[in-house]
Amino acid sequence: MKILMIKRHRKWRKAGNKACKTWAYHRLTISPFSVHLQQYKPMNTKRHTVPELPRKNFLFDKKLWVIAGICIITFICFNYSLNNLFTNWDDDVYVTHDQYIKAFTADNLKTIFTEDITKNNYHPLTMLSLAVNYHYAQLEPRTYYLTNILIHIANVILVFLLATEFCARLKINKSRSLFMAAFCALWFGVHPMHVESVSWLAERKDVLYAFFYFLGLLTYLRYIDKNKIKWYLLTVLCFIASCLSKPMAVVFPVSLLAIDLLLNRKWKSKVLVEKIPLLLVSLACGGYAYYRQNATGAIAPFAVLSFADRVMYASYGFVMYVTKLFYPFRLSTFYPYPYHYIDGSLPWIYYASPVIGIAIVAVPLFIAWKMNKKYFRVIAFGYGFFTANIIFVLQFISCGAAIMADRYSYVSYFGLLFMIVYFLGEIRDRFPLYKISVILLLSAFSAELSYLCYERTKVWHNSETLLKDAIHKYPYGALLSYKWLGNYYMDSLQYDSAGRCYRMLTMLHAADASVYDNLGNIFKFKNEYPQALKAYDTSLQMGGNIYRTLLDRSSCLADMEDTNAAIRDYATALRLNPDAEKRYAEAGFTESQKKQYTDAIGRYTVLLKFSPNNPYYYFYRGVSEFGEGKIRASAADFKSAFLFNAPQVSVIAVYNLSVACDSLNDDSDAVKYAYIARQHGYAVDPAYFNKIKGKVKKTEKDE
């Protein structure tokens, strides 16, 4: 038995830029033994063209407008940072006192890429970016902060793109995808916990390493799709650039495994083998970072903390990072370790933190495993990404004096944010009647974060506002903040305020010899010499700052005109550290610039006992003596500096000698030395020259 059928279907083909279609007919013959399909000629061969759809104008691209809006909001939130100044919290190490970023020379570039010039971490790309800033703006803070903000905004865009790519691979519709990516990027951009990474100039390394980190995640997604070696190589290159910006990037391969889990990639050998080159880079960069941190004393010996303490401190940090994501309270530049009670116990939260931390992770994972495997993968990715990027700063390995820091949340929060917006998107889709209410509620939360972010940037205005904020939050724990605030007041010549900070540290029994050394300097500046010597002695007994304290005590003894004792201290310091002379001379120069002439004279007197052939010491002692009103002594020192015939100092010394002679009414010598200065190329002021010549003529006329 045979059945004949006529079937019509469409056949599409392209003709230039137009889509064309033709009608064709098939004869389908079905029998118990075979099926035959025969195509007949089309009954209607006329081609029907489909009009080409107009291309979508980018001005009507909703996604583009959303990204632009998020970037503008982020810039407004950080706008106040453009008014901020340099702080004394590592900004001096990275910029103001760093000689290698101040000239694009071959030697400086070599040093930047081959040495740890900040003496705490190796991050050459960060230092190179700061060198570019200095090349165009020198020490204008605004441009440095603007660069930080622009890199942060670039990271916001990358986070938006990452969230969008994840949504596409999880087969989420476009409307929900835009919702998720928008809030994920917005909260990343305006979260107050991220202010430290953006508004702290020295944390350029944070925003820069994150830029290459997120870019590497995007290229990895493209590699998964295309399976082409060029995308893999780009991923490796971004990872290396991220490590060269900040060593925290070493966990990048673990983040890739978290992405593999989220996208449900099959765990074949290829998935693991492709991570091996990345792991080798991680081991190299991580090993060197550990070596540098340990060499500078930032890593505490394992015997300092017990295993139980390490678990409690790490769990506390984990819980606080998660808590501050939702409720960013008591943010500070410094979170001190807790004080033990008299019986040796800790506050209850530290004992509860391990249980709370496990519950935060385990309960959602267990519920998701029972409900939906996709939910499980999303939660596992969120916590896995967060934990991987925070694990090395949770104080299992005690590094630094703080138990946690806002900046460590910068990259790690992306995992939690994506997890949160995913389930918010689920709620939005499952309860469409409440869609507008959900969006309004989340917008209100975003507005609150934005306000807190803007207010937080004001804290970073200068060293005083920054450190006072930390002291206000932790008045009995922020010991380093008291010290840095005292140093800030010292540099600003506010000795009474500095003294209050250092005395507070002595009341808190700070085991820091430099505190007593600085306290001694304050007493010295106030001419309270017995108390200064007592503070110096305490500093020397504590150790750790011996050669600097000896130099400062030497200066104090010189002010007291106990020259022999001053020379002994200086000689001891010189034996301990060959750089003692340089430090002593720089301190003398600084004192001379600050018009602390007595202190400067004492230092240069001691220096000349050991280096009597240094014309600079004579010159700067002469400057200080002239400022002190000891004109005849200054004239003698200027003459000594001139007679050495040193090219860079002799010309200025002989002019100063002329000025000193004029002050002593030695008019003929004043003219003589002014002539010599002109012969050596010094531009003597014509008015001054005519004045002293007139005085000589008047004297001769009177005679």
Enumerate the β-bridge partners of residue 399: 299
Asked whether the beta carbons of 649 and 589 are under 8 A apart, the reply is: no
What is d(CA 165, CA 372) in angstroms, rounded to the nearest whole number?
A: 21
What angle, 0 to 180 degrees and rounded to 10, lies between the N-to-C axes of helices 307-326 and 409-430?
50
Asked whether the beta carbons of 123 and 246 are under 8 A apart, the reply is: yes
What is d(CA 62, CA 67) in angstroms, rounded to the nearest whole number?
A: 9
Q: Decide the pairing of beta strands 48-50 and 402-404.
A: unpaired
Give me the domain span that covers residue 14: 3-45
Q: Could you tell me what percentage of the chain is helix, strand and coil, using 3-state DSSP and rounding each to the nearest 5?
A: 70, 5, 20
> Which of 399, 425, 458 delimits the end of a domain?
458
Q: Is 452 found in the same domain as 332?
A: yes
Asked whether the beta carbons of 619 and 638 are under 8 A apart, the reply is: yes
Nearest Cα to 260, choosing from 389, 419, 381?
Answer: 381
Q: For residue 298, tell me if it sits in a domain.
A: yes
What is d(CA 171, CA 167) in angstroms, rounded to the nearest whole number?
A: 6
Single-letter amino acid code for the residue at 125: L
What is d(CA 407, CA 405) in angstroms, rounded to the nearest whole number?
A: 6
> Which of 436, 458, 480 delimits the end of a domain?
458
Q: Is 91 found in the same domain as 10?
A: no
Q: Is 126 found in the same domain as 35?
A: no
What count of other Cβ atoms lies within 10 Å of the Cβ of residue 229?
A: 9
Q: Is 243 found in the same domain as 312?
A: yes
Mapping DSSP to helix (H, G, I), strand (E, B) and coil, where does residue 274 land?
coil
pLDDT of residue 703: 54
Asked whether the beta carbons of 654 and 622 are under 8 A apart, the reply is: no
Q: Is 328 found in the same domain as 217?
A: yes
What is d(CA 313, CA 309) in angstroms, rounded to the nearest whole number?
A: 6
DSSP letter string, 564-575: HHHHHHHHHHHH
User: What values do phi and psi take at 245, rounded to 5?
Assistant: -100, -35
Q: For residue 678, tell me if it sits in a domain.
A: yes
Give the pLDDT confidence of 301-343 residue by residue, as tens digits: 666 678 888 899 999 999 999 999 999 999 999 998 888 777 7
DSSP letter string, 89-149: SSHIIIIIT-GGGSS--HHHHHHHHHS-TTSS---HHHHHHHHHHHHHHTT-HHHHHHHHH
Nearest Cα to 677, choosing from 697, 658, 692?
Answer: 658
Structure tokens at 224: 């998964």
> Which of 428, 458, 488 delimits the end of a domain?
458
Q: For residue 559, tell me if it sits in a domain.
A: no
Total of domains in the chain: 3
**How wide is the angle at C-alpha 281 spanned by C-alphas 277 and 284, nearest 5°?**
140
Q: Please state the pTM of the whole predicted model.
A: 0.81
Q: Is 699 found in the same domain as 646?
A: yes
User: What values do phi and psi take at 391, rounded to 5?
Assistant: -60, -40
Q: Is 102 found in the same domain as 16?
A: no
Q: For residue 580, tell me if it sits in a domain.
A: no
pLDDT of residue 25: 42
Show Cβ contacts of residue 463 under 8 Å, excluding neighbours closer than 6 positions. 85, 87, 88, 89, 484, 485, 488
pLDDT of residue 53: 52
Give the pLDDT confidence of 380-396 residue by residue, as tens digits: 999 999 999 999 888 77
What is d(CA 201, CA 135) in angstroms, rounded to the nearest whole number?
A: 16
Nearest Cα to 209, choosing from 180, 251, 169, 262?
Answer: 251
Task: Print the SS3 string covering 496-560.
Answer: HHHHHHHHHHHHCCCCCHHHHHHHHHHHHHCCCHHHHHHHHHHHHHHCCCHHHHHHHHHHHHHHC
Residues of the chain with pLDDT under 50: 1-43, 45-46, 48
Nearest Cα to 179, choosing from 445, 449, 435?
Answer: 435
Structure tokens at 417: 């944010």
What is d(CA 465, CA 445) in angstroms, rounded to the nearest whole number?
A: 27
DSSP letter string, 458-470: HHTSSHHHHHHHH
Q: For residue 176, tell me if it sits in a domain.
A: yes
Q: For residue 211, tell me if it sits in a domain.
A: yes
**How wide is the angle at C-alpha 554 spanned by C-alphas 549 and 560, nearest 5°?**
130
Q: Is 211 found in the same domain as 124?
A: yes
Q: Is 23 found in the same domain as 90?
A: no
Measured CA to CA in angstroms, residue 248 lies from 169, 274, 389, 410 at distances of 28, 21, 8, 11
CATH number, domain containing residue 621: 1.25.40.10
Measured CA to CA in angstroms, residue 532 lies from 254, 517, 605 at distances of 54, 9, 20
For residues 593-608, one letter each, b for 16 or more C-beta atoms within 10 angstroms of the residue's C-beta and e for the rest, the string is eeebbbbbbbbbbbbb
Helices (H) and strands (E) in the chain, counts: 31, 6
Asked whether the beta carbons of 37 and 26 are under 8 A apart, the reply is: yes
Q: For residue 607, tell me if it sits in a domain.
A: no
Kindly provide the residue ranges of all beta strands, DSSP E only, lying in 245-398, ordered along the sequence: 335-336
Q: Is 169 found in the same domain as 117?
A: yes
Q: Is 83 found in the same domain as 41?
A: no
Measured CA to CA in angstroms, residue 258 lies from 57, 156, 170, 414 at distances of 37, 21, 14, 12
Q: Is 87 found in the same domain as 16?
A: no
pLDDT of residue 326: 95
Asked whether the beta carbons of 328 and 192 are under 8 A apart, the reply is: yes
Q: For residue 438, tell me if it sits in a domain.
A: yes
